[in-house]
Amino acid sequence: MVASKKISSKIIIYILLIAGVVLSIAPFYWMIVGSTLPSGEIFRVPPKLLPGDYLAKNFQTLNESLGIARIFWNSLFIALVYTLFSTLISAMAGYAFAKFKFKGKNVFFFIILCTLMIPSQVTLIPLFEMMVTFNWLNTYQAIILPTLASPFAIYLMRQNMKAIPDSIMEASRIDGAGELKIFFTVILPVTRPAMAAVGIFLFMSQWNSLLWPLITLNSKEMFTLPVALSSLIGMARIDYGQLMLGTTLSTIPIMIFFLLLQKHFISGILGGSVKE
**Where on the chain is the footprint of other proteins (CB under 8 A)?**
39-40, 43-45, 124-125, 128-129, 131-132, 134-141, 145, 178-180, 211, 214-215, 218-220, 227, 230-239
For other proteins, which is the closer residue by CB, 19 or 132?
132
Q: How far is CA 59 from the centre of its chain?
A: 25
Give the shortest CB-2-to-other proteins separation in angstroms: 49
Percent helix / strand / coil, the chain, rounded to 5: 75, 0, 25
Give the shortest CB-148-to-other proteins separation in angstroms: 10
Helix (H) or strand (E) holding 73: helix 68-99
Q: Which amino acid is at 137?
A: L
CB 133 within 8 A of CB 207: no
CA 77, CA 266: separation in Å to the nearest integer?
26
For other proteins, which is the closer residue by CB, 157 or 228?
228
Query: For residue 101, what are the CA distances in angstroms to 95, 191, 203, 267?
Result: 11, 20, 31, 28
For other proteins, which is the closer residue by CB, 86 or 201?
86
Give the shortest CB-81-to-other proteins separation in angstroms: 11
For other proteins, which is the closer residue by CB, 126 or 259?
126
Give the shortest CB-32-to-other proteins separation in angstroms: 18
Task: Tell me how far apart the terminal alpha carbons of the chain are, to the nearest angstrom.
Answer: 43
Query: For residue 86, what are the CA distances in angstroms to 62, 109, 181, 204?
Result: 32, 17, 20, 13
Judged by DSSP in three states, 209 sits in coil
Give the shortest CB-198-to-other proteins separation in angstroms: 21
For other proteins, which is the closer residue by CB, 200 or 222?
222
Give the shortest CB-41-to-other proteins separation in angstroms: 9
For other proteins, which is the closer residue by CB, 120 or 267?
120
